[in-house]
Amino acid sequence: MPLTDFPRVRLAQAPTPLEDLANLSRDIGGPRLLVKRDDLTGFAMGGNKVRQAEFYLGDALEEGADTLITTGAVQSNHARVTAGAAAKYGLACHLLVEQRVPGTDAGSEYQGSGNALLQRLFGARLHPWPEGEDEAGADARLEAIAADVRAAGGRPYVIHLGPGHPPLGALGYVDAAAELLAQARDQDLAPDAVVLPSGSASTHAGLLVGLRAAGNPLRVLGVCIRRAAALQAERVLARARWAAELIGRPDVVGPADIDVTDAYLGPGYGQPTPAMIEAVGLAARREALLLDPVYTGKAMAGLLDLARSGAFPPAATVVFLHTGGAPALFAYRGLFAEAGP
């Protein structure tokens, strides 16, 4: 089924740039590093979730929904973009706010600034949820909120993040894969690998499906930001297979295509590591590139470490997929209070 057959609302400013990271490349003395700037998708402060929201919102409007309901952590980029999409199209929005990061008490910057602030500005109604790692429980709570909306005469549309639901958002990155390949051709590039954060896995899975559907064997390495590599590999494969089925290419991805590492995860989701802090600082000072502490900071830490250690050939070209998330920097301000040369 071609992507044009899926309901879609255009939100992203695309194509996003594909740029050299010339200073970081010189610093590591190894492969050529580039960045695919999906932090610049524009809508509601951008990021990868904008491409995903195009398909969820399109489906919601097709169904006649008047309310969007979803879940995410306090500093969720997905929740921020969903709230923005709801505001733009005149829908109500309910967000289940999961407490995934220990030690972030009520009243802290983490709870009140960054994405959490933007969700409120967009007019979302927030529902606290104390269980950060209970996806089944969170999905059940979403359905309970949806039942309340129906009882009040509303028409809810639920965007689940747990497994067992069609990953429509992944289609945004099936499309982005074609965009990346076109840019590489235009710039006379032959990338050897893409490195990206791997969390809910829709971006990772969609990009992988899009590349393989185009007949491209490019390595896609996901840096785990929420769970161990074995669990994340299962999740990426399941989402990739489902996304492949959605576009009518069920056999395009298999276990050999899944490549993840949890070496840079640290204590868990949203919890800082020294390597992440270093990577965020280096990217800012050397490239004026703003990463976030949860996703892209850890993924860049992985990329830099792998490049320095010779995991990529010196002549390789490696693309870093920047999935956005800079608003969360302000929620982690204390980590970077002493940042500088």
What residues are annotated to the active site?
76
Instruction: Of 77, 119, 114, 73, give the one whose Cα is nearest residue 94.
Output: 119
Detail the DSSP E strand segments found in the chain: 18-20, 32-37, 67-73, 92-98, 125-129, 156-159, 193-198, 219-224, 260-261, 317-322
DSSP 174-207: HHHHHHHHHHHHHTT----EEEEEESSSHHHHHH
Instruction: For residue 325, give the nearest of 236, 235, 203, 230 by alpha carbon.
Output: 203
* Bridge pairing between strands 67-73 and 156-159: parallel
Alpha-carbon distances of 216 from 25, 51, 151, rounded to whole Å: 25, 21, 49
Give, to the nearest 10 degrees, the angle between helix 48-62 and helix 171-186. Answer: 130
Give the neighbor-by-neighbor strand order of the sheet with 156-159.
125-129, 92-98, 67-73, 156-159
